[in-house]
């Protein structure tokens, strides 16, 4: 388990892969607010709802000077299908590399279901200020109402 990253910490500047294959890093967003929402898997019920909720509010996040980036371990091609299938407006990125951003943040973690343990993404959202420092963290997110709560926090930042 790595050190914890909470409010006031600088976000690790580890590159992710956008659906078109290009690299995207947290430092690309310095100067504006950024919401990074980490979710377990494309096209599963909770993750689809979360992505649709953030997408529905994408224009409002933009008006609040806040960029959005949804992140999972799914490969870029799967993200493209997910975006097209659900008409998602929130940009997605893949964190498939070993030692990637979710590993550094400690949210790629051991989970357990039905007595089986496996590695999985802990649904977590980070609000990052224009200075690149974490302003707020939502660990173990419950999807219902979450995007609205994050938007309110982004507006207040």
For 19-60, give the DSSP string. TTS-EE-GGGGTTSEEEEEE-S-TTSHHHHHHHHHHHHTHHH
* d(C-alpha 57, C-alpha 69), whole Å: 13
Q: Name the token pair of 103.
A: 């590993």
* d(C-alpha 82, C-alpha 72), whole Å: 12
What 3-state DSSP class applies to 112? strand
Local structure of residue 118 (DSSP, 8 states): E
Q: 34, 47, 58, 107: which is the annotated catalytic residue?
A: 47
Reply yes or no on whether 47 is catalytic.
Answer: yes
Q: Which residues pair with 121 in a beta bridge?
A: 108
Active site residues: 47
């Amino acid at each position: 388990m790595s050190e914890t990253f909470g409010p006031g910490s600088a976000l690790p500047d580890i590159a992710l892969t956008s659906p078109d294959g290009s690299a995207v890093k947290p430092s690309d967003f310095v100067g504006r607010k950024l919401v990074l929402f980490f979710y377990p898997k494309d096209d599963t019920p909770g993750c689809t709802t979360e992505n649709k909720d953030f997408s529905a509010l994408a224009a409002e996040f933009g008006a609040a000077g806040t960029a959005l980036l949804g992140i999972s371990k799914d490969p870029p091609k799967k993200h493209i299908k997910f975006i097209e299938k659900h008409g998602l407006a929130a940009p997605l990125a893949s964190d498939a590399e070993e030692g990637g951003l979710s590993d550094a943040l400690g949210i790629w973690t051991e989970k357990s279901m039905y007595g089986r343990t496996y590695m999985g993404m802990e649904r977590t959202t980070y609000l990052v200020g224009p200075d690149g420092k974490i302003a707020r963290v939502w660990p173990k997110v419950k999807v219902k109402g979450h995007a609205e709560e994050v938007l309110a926090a982004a507006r207040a930042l």
